[in-house]
Amino acid sequence: MSLSNNSIERICKIFGYLDTLDKQGTKFASSLDLAKAIGATSYTVRKDISLLNIIGYTRKGYDVKTLKEELGQKLCLNKKRNACIVGLGRLGSALLDYEKFQEDGFDVVAGFDSNINKLERIRTDIDVYPVSRINEIIIRKHIELGIIAVPSEYAQNIADTLIKAGVTGILNFSYVKINLPKNIINVNLDFTNSLRFIAAKLSGNTTNK
């Protein structure tokens, strides 16, 4: 089985949307419904799904519950995973309390910051530690995912520490690209770059693709 990044991203979005549909009590969804919800075409959705050898029902579309279960299984999204957040500034502490992570099976089980005073002041149900304890805690709590919300100049260093401790996936909110061994999966979310992208497209000298 072998999916492109684009396919994976679409399927992840579909998975999230199926959850919404399920909570609403919707039973079936056609490829077109799904496509609209994630911003794709129905062809692409059908192809993505069929690449996973999942089949739908003619005339009705896909069974919401079943499809969600199957997508989750094929992409290992049903399994819970432990995560930690490094850097508990404004953004990091907002992320600590971002309930959607937990709802979706990502358990944030630790927060880290280098500022001891900050650790004492923070009010959250999640355990917080100084960065010096990253290695110990990651191993003890079986943390697989690291969320980096430290100032950009420290991001690479933190990433190295996380990986040495055994983290295999990194979500990086700093605006620098971090260099990683290629078995580590990583996504960069650079807010400023997203605004730049919007600004650039607004300026108009672009295709619509």
Partner DNA sequence: CTCTGTGAATGCTTTCACAGCG
Partner DNA sequence: CGCTGTGAAAGCATTCACAGAG
- Residue 139's binding partner among DNA, its own copies, none (Cβ under 5 to 8 angstroms by kind) is none
- Is the Cβ of residue 63 or residue 107 nearer to DNA in the bound state? 63
- Residue 191's binding partner among DNA, its own copies, none (Cβ under 5 to 8 angstroms by kind) is its own copies
- Residue 170's binding partner among DNA, its own copies, none (Cβ under 5 to 8 angstroms by kind) is its own copies
- Residue 42's binding partner among its own copies, DNA, none (Cβ under 5 to 8 angstroms by kind) is DNA
Residue 178 Cβ, how far from its own copies at the closest point, in Å? 10
Query: Backbone dihedral region of 132: left (phi > 0), alpha (psi from -120 to 50 degrees) or beta?
Result: alpha
**Residue 148 per-residue DSSP state:** E
Instruction: Give the span between the Cα atoms of 122 and 97, in whole angstroms.
Output: 11
Tokens coding 46: 């059908």
Confirm or reject binding of residue 57 to DNA (CB under 7 A): yes
* Rg (the chain; Cα; Å): 20
Confirm or reject binding of residue 21 to DNA (CB under 7 A): no
Instruction: Give the span between the Cα atoms of 186 and 17, in whole angstroms.
Output: 23
Instruction: Give the span between the Cα atoms of 134 and 163, in whole angstroms.
Output: 10
Q: Which residues bind DNA (CB under 7 A)?
A: 4-7, 30-32, 40-44, 46-47, 49-50, 54-62, 207, 209
